[in-house]
Amino acid sequence: MTREQFVTELDRQVKLVRTEYGFTQDTMAKALGLSKKTLVQIEKGRASLGWTGAVALSAVFADSQVLAGVLGGEGSDMVRALAFADRPPRFPRTMGGKVWWRTAEVRGHYRIQQNILSQHYRLLDGEDRRLGSSFDLEQMRALAEEAERRRET
């Protein structure tokens, strides 16, 4: 998934999320930092949230079942995968992927997991700390090899 695809998908989900939360257009617009006019245009498919608005939607409504169904759980991991495609930061410890993840590969002391809905990957160490995430499996394999080399030195 690209940033553009992420934004397009969240554009399509705005009205459903608003309905899920029982918000009026005024309330939803304020929550997202938009004008009501802009929100109406997004809901009609005539405007877009853009990257910043899509990130805001996924963060503000992180508990949304609508978004969980589209993003494969809470969307912050996907946002990180897209935002840090070039250079991932140090991520905090995860719960190990008990719900939305399957182990794709084990590479030495590291596990590559794939999200069952969004299909993006993440690399976890032996303590379930995320070392990176990406839609590119080869990138995760390379990161695992690099982490294994660092571990050996």
Q: Tell me which of 55, 71, 87 is where a domain ends.
A: 71
Is 88 domain-assigned? no
Last residue of a domain, one of 51, 71, 91: 71
Q: Could you tell me if residue 30 is inside a domain?
A: yes
pLDDT, residue 73, reads 81
21-72 pLDDT per residue, tens: 999 999 999 999 999 999 999 999 999 999 999 999 999 999 999 999 998 8
Same-domain pairing of 105 and 67: no
Better-scored residue on pLDDT, 49 or 99: 49
Share of the chain above pLDDT 70, in %: 97
Residue 33 lies in a domain: yes
Tell me, yes or no, whether 52 and 107 share the same domain.
no
pTM exceeding the 0.85 threshold for the entire prediction = no
pLDDT score for 89: 66
Give the pLDDT score at 96.
83
Number of structural domains (the chain) is 2
Alpha-carbon distances of 135 from 52, 56, 114, 126, rounded to whole Å: 20, 21, 9, 21
Cβ neighbours, 10 Å, residue 127: 9
The answer to whether the beta carbons of residues 39 and 28 sit under 8 Å apart is yes
Q: Does any domain span residue 82?
A: no
What's the domain range around 113?
101-152
Residue 101 is predicted with a pLDDT of 95
Structure token digits, residue 58: 């996924």
Which residues, at least 6 apart from 91, have a Cβ–Cβ distance to it below 8 Å?
Answer: 80, 129, 130, 131, 132, 133
Average pLDDT over residues 124-147: 92
Q: Is residue 96 part of a domain?
A: no
Q: Based on the fold, state whether residues 11 and 60 are members of the same structural domain.
A: yes
Q: Are 67 and 18 members of one domain?
A: yes
Residue 49 belongs to domain with CATH number = 1.10.260.40
pLDDT band at 151 (very low <50, low <70, confident <90, very high): confident
At CA 7, angle to CA 41 and CA 19, rounded to 5? 55
**Cα dihedral across residues 93, 95, 99, 103: positive or negative:** positive
